[in-house]
């Protein structure tokens, strides 16, 4: 009945609240800003993540790879590793990740973010919390997370890049794109 599609750097959509079409998804992040002009070009590529919730509240998440041209030879892409590129738990929510997959997959950031939300952490702070251990060990890494809570709230965090996601539910004629202000190394959440 409802679906969502996320695409890093160009589009990310979060699914609607399980309470019906009259309740739109809502960001819990003050750092999120509506984005007017999206750069969609060959230079603009990365993992595509998707989060979807159906009418009954079942949540799914998935992620693609950006292709063999950008991965370290001989490794399995991080998108295929459960908890690295995507993770969902219908009782809590879901998360999708993008960025330096060779680094991020060592930390299972999507899994970590959903676990933080299960402990009551709001989506944006769950994204920041899941990125924090990566940043502390690899301060030059680039990455982002998008979280969706089963109550209909969503949030995102990015490190060292201007991350854009979009969301749409069945009541909306077009997706709304949101630009996420990157976390700074001196941010107290890191």
Where on the phi/psi map is residue 89: left (φ > 0), alpha (ψ -120 to 50), or beta? Answer: beta
CB 169 within 8 A of CB 184: no
Token pair of 33, please?
């800003």
Q: What is the rounded distance in angstroms from the CA atom of residue 150 to the CA atom of residue 43?
A: 34
Q: What is the DSSP string of 105-169?
A: TTT-HHHHHHHHHHTT--HHHHHHHHHHHHHHH-TT--EEEEEEETTSEEEEEEESS-EEEEE--
* Active-site annotation holds for 47: yes
Point out the catalytic residue in the list 6, 47, 124, 153: 47
Active centre residues (catalytic): 47
């Amino acid at each position: 009945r409802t679906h969502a599609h996320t695409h890093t750097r160009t589009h990310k959509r979060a699914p609607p609240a399980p309470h019906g079409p009259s309740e739109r998804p809502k960001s819990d992040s003050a750092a999120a800003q509506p984005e007017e002009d999206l750069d969609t070009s060959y230079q603009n590529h990365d993992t595509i993540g998707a989060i979807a919730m159906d009418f009954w509240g079942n949540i799914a998440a998935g992620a693609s790879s950006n292709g063999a041209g950008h991965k370290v030879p001989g490794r399995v892409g991080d998108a295929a590793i459960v908890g690295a590129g995507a993770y969902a738990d219908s009782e809590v929510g879901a998360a999708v990740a993008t960025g330096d997959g060779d680094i991020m997959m060592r930390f299972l950031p999507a899994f970590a973010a959903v676990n933080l939300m299960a402990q009551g952490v709001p989506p944006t702070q769950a994204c920041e919390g899941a990125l924090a251990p990566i940043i502390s060990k690899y301060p030059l890494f680039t990455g982002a997370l998008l979280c969706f809570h089963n109550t209909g709230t969503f949030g995102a965090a990015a490190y060292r890049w201007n991350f854009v996601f979009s969301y749409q539910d069945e009541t909306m004629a077009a997706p709304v794109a949101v630009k996420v202000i990157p976390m700074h190394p001196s941010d107290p959440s890191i």
